[in-house]
Amino acid sequence: MRNDNAGWTGNSIIHLEGITKSFYLGTDHELEVLHGIGLEVNDGEFVSIVGESGSGKSTLMNIIGLLDHATSGRYFMEGVDISAVRESALCTIRNRQIGFVFQTYNLIPRTSAQKNVEMPMLYAGVRPQERAERAMALLQMVGMEDRAKHNPDELSGGQRQRVAIARAMANDPAIILADEPTGALDSRTGRSVMDLFHRLHEEEGKTIILITHSKPLAEETDRILTLIDGRITREQQGPFRAHGVPAPDSETLDSDPV
């Protein structure tokens, strides 16, 4: 159901317009965390979001990932006006179109790596046989096939994150959202996880939005958005752009530090 709403024009996969988010603390104390975010992400783009702690990166990511509702503004995903979508349909979109990777891995405890990877497919109603096969293939892709039967508490942080990435890929979503996926890892492990994202981007053509505090990692992506106090203050083209898709509203400010 493509909407023909005014304001949405292009073929971007994510289109945000004047998104604000307020938290209500107490009865009439309101805290606005995002102040009118506008953002376009094209299909197949690898975008990174940087910014100080508390600048609203995760809040924005949660809205993009349909885990949270914006207080005002408009959000189209693949042309669909999200504000018009029912809660249960949002679950389905999260399930099929979005893969989450968290800083804290968030694997389901007491559940094997393979079962964790199968989880999104379970909720999508994929048959057990097919689930198992695809889970094994994904674990192989992230180099974790020999740990398929291990529970999360038997895996290292880097291994857990690999399993989590395999899980994010389970239903072959168009978009991968990763909130500081390397934040809890040492730089070498972080590097290998980052390489995985590049592979998903280049080989699988995934649209990836990555939140990171690491400037070098951010600079590897197509586009860097800097968030300060709930506003996107800067957009930069990264030096190693893989697809060459021009970002619609980007201004190139290579000289500025991130």
Partner 1 sequence: MFFENIKLAVSSLFANKLRTFLTMLGIIIGITSVIAIKTVGNAMTDSVQEQMSAFGVNNVSISMYPDFNNTEVSNMDYDSIPKEQFTQEMLQDMLKTYSSQITALSVEQFLSSSKVVPDPDVPEVYANIDIDGVNSGYFTAENITMIDGKIFDKNAFENGSFQAIVSDFFVNNLYGGDTKKALGKQVDVTVNDETTETYTIVGVYRYDVSKMGIGEGTATKDVSTNFFVPYKNAVDQQPERQKLGITNFTLVTSAGTDTMAFADDVKQFLTDRLQENTLYTVDAFSMQSMVEESKKTMDSLTLAITAIAAIALLVGGIGVMNIMTVSITERTREIGTRKALGAQNSAIRGQFITEAVILCLVGGLFGMIDGIIVGYVACHFMGYVAKVPLSSVLIAFGFSTAIGVFFGYYPASKAARMDPIEALRYE
Ligand X SMILES: Nc1ncnc2c1ncn2[C@@H]1O[C@H](COP(=O)(O)OP(=O)(O)OP(=O)(O)O)[C@@H](O)[C@H]1O
**Which residues form the interface with ligand X (CB under 6 A)?**
23, 31, 33, 51, 53-59
Residue closest to ligand X, measured at CB? 58
Closer residue to partner 1 in complex, CB, 9/31: 31
Q: Per rule CB under 8 A, is residue 31 in the interface with partner 1?
A: no
Closer residue to partner 1 in complex, CB, 75/100: 100
CA of residue 252 relative to chain centroid, distance: 23
Least Å distance, CB 68 to partner 1, is 5
- Residue 258: C-alpha distances to residues 30, 35, 45, 69, 209 (Å): 30, 20, 19, 28, 17
Q: Per rule CB under 8 A, is residue 94 in the interface with partner 1?
A: yes
- Determine which helix (DSSP H) or strand (DSSP E) holds 111, and give its type and residue range: none
Q: Which residue is associated with the tokens 């207080």? A: 71
Closer residue to partner 1 in complex, CB, 23/240: 23
- Determine which helix (DSSP H) or strand (DSSP E) holds 146, and give its type and residue range: none
Q: Binding partner of residue 125 among ligand X, partner 1, Mg ion, none, CB under 5 to 8 Å per kind?
A: partner 1
Coil vs helix vs strand at 89: helix
Q: Binding partner of residue 238 among ligand X, partner 1, Mg ion, none, CB under 5 to 8 Å per kind?
A: none
Q: Binding partner of residue 26 among ligand X, Mg ion, partner 1, none, CB under 5 to 8 Å per kind?
A: none
> In angstroms, rounded to a whole number, what is the distance separating the alpha carbons of residues 90 and 175?
14
Tell me which amino acid residue 107 is. L
Q: Work out which of 55, 58, 116, 236 binds Mg ion, going by CB under 5 A.
A: 58
Residue 248 has, within 13 A of its CA and on its CB side, a CA count of: 15
Alpha-helical runs (H) found in 98-182: 113-124, 128-141, 157-168
Q: Binding partner of residue 123 among Mg ion, partner 1, ligand X, none, CB under 5 to 8 Å per kind?
A: partner 1
Residues 6+ apart with CB under 8 A from 93: 66, 77, 85
Least Å distance, CB 184 to Mg ion, is 12
Q: Work out which of 3, 35, 123, 136 binds partner 1, going by CB under 8 A.
A: 123
Here the tokens at position 59 are 């809040």
Contact residues for partner 1, defined by CB under 8 A: 62, 65, 67-68, 87-88, 91-96, 98, 100, 102, 106-111, 119-120, 122-125, 167, 171
